[in-house]
Chain A
Amino acid sequence: MTVLSNKEKAVYAWQFTVPGFGEEGQKKLKESSVLVSRVGGLGSVVAYELAAAGVGKLVLAHAGNVKESDLNRQLLMTDDWLGKPRVASARKRLLELNPRLDIEIIPENINEHNAADIVSKSDLIVDCAPLFQERFLMNKEAVNQNKPLVDCAMYELEAQIITIIPGESACLSCLYPDWPEVWKREFPVFGAVSGTVACLGAMEAIKIISDLGEPLSGTLLTMDLRDMSFLRTNIKPLKHCPVCSHKF
């Protein structure tokens, strides 16, 4: 049985009073593991919020070294870490915030060879990858392994988030049935935009893990921060989805 230490009770005291959460919710977070891939503009903030909230274990997958162009949004990367591995910078900063956190770092991006293994290491996935190759692989493995996936994305001052519960809601391949080849690797964005949707993604993860509130299961939330407009759209599962239709 999971027990919270006096230190943990002190750190998370302000969360205990959230109706529907309490000490039991905190224990569920402590028992949980979350994969965040990658830890860039989105994933840095997702990981930081989950570390602050008291998730027990984070699995962080991201290849490459810190570049100057990362620093406007990748908040776990610092100027003194330029040229060094991103996941090591992420681990260092997260442990400064929460030294109780169990962190597994994987200096790789999701690919067809590692996706099943990396997804198997956690209870829940927060998809923060900039490429659809990685997103579709995580989606497929999340469905196959019956794990919830929170998918966050942004472009310029716009962002979107959807939560995928296998067998309950549409998956990413229902949302995008063919290859979105128009998407480009480099895109315009402010860190405050990725940070906004990343906080929502972290909240979705916390809600699912602790049975709090109603996750965006099957609902696409889109936002345009130019005029602060938000839109919820129900996304139906495709009857012939090659990834998830067998779950219904």
Chain B
Amino acid sequence: MQIKMKYSAQLKREAGISEELVDLQPDQSFDHLLATIANQHSIGFRNVIFDDQNSRRKSLLIIQNGRQVNSEETLKLNNGDEILLMSPIAGG
């Protein structure tokens, strides 16, 4: 399946791109997707997504096809999904 990834703020800066297409096997999970993109980009990009224990940071906002998937929910991927990852910002 193919997933369209979109990035904002620090993630976009670290990736150097705002969006990309990622190809996955049909049964692959969201965690696999995150690991795939983390391996394709800089260590700074990885650090925005994963903590030192390699766990996904809950402060990462995840929007699947326009709908937030919060930390109490499980995200199931579907072919053609658009996933927006938003890193936390607090500029004042």
| Real binding pair | yes
Q: Which A residues are within 8 Å of any B CB, using their own CB? A: 38, 40-43, 128-132, 135, 152-156, 158-160, 174-183, 187, 189, 194, 220, 222, 224, 231, 233-236, 238-240
Query: What are 13 residue pairs bridging A and B, where the CB atoms are less than 8 Å apart in the complex?
Result: A42-B91, A129-B92, A130-B90, A130-B91, A154-B91, A156-B13, A174-B70, A177-B71, A179-B59, A183-B90, A220-B68, A233-B61, A238-B72
Task: Judge whether B76 is part of the interface by a CB distance below 8 angstroms.
Answer: no
Contact of A233 among B47, B59, B68, B90 (CB under 8 A): B68
Contact status B92-A178, CB under 8 Å: no
What is the minimal beta-carbon distance from B58 to any residue of chain A, in angstroms?
Answer: 4
Q: Which residue of A lies closest to B9 (CB)?
A: A155
- Of the four ranges (under 10, 10 to 19, 20 to 34, 35 or more), the interface on chain B belongs to 20 to 34
How far is B60's CA from A181's CA once the two chains are assembled, in angstroms?
11
What is the minimal beta-carbon distance from B78 to any residue of chain A, in angstroms?
Answer: 19
Contact status A233-B9, CB under 8 Å: no
How far is B78's CA from A144's CA once the two chains are assembled, in angstroms?
40
Task: Judge whether B26 is part of the interface by a CB distance below 8 angstroms.
Answer: no
Q: Which residues of B contact A130 (CB under 8 A)?
A: 90-92
How far is B17's CA from A227's CA once the two chains are assembled, in angstroms?
14
Contact status A239-B90, CB under 8 Å: no
Q: Which residues of B contact A239 (CB under 8 A)?
A: 72
How far is B27's CA from A130's CA once the two chains are assembled, in angstroms?
41
List the count of A-B residue pairs having beta carbons below 8 Å apart: 94
Q: Which residues of A contact B10 (CB under 8 A)?
A: 155, 182-183
Chain B, 52-92, CB within 8 A of any chain A CB: 57-59, 61, 63, 66-68, 70-72, 84, 86-92
Q: Which residue of B lies closest to A239 (CB)?
A: B72
Task: Judge whether B8 is part of the interface by a CB distance below 8 angstroms.
Answer: yes
How far is B91's CA from A41's CA once the two chains are assembled, in angstroms?
8
What is the minimal beta-carbon distance from A150 to any residue of chain B, in angstroms?
Answer: 13
From known contacts A132-B90, A154-B89, infer whether A178 and B63 are also in contact, taking CB-CB under 8 Å: no
Task: Judge whether B48 is part of the interface by a CB distance below 8 angstroms.
Answer: yes
Q: Which residues of B contact A132 (CB under 8 A)?
A: 88, 90
What is the minimal beta-carbon distance from A217 to any residue of chain B, in angstroms?
Answer: 15
Contact of B61 among A41, A159, A175, A187 (CB under 8 A): A175
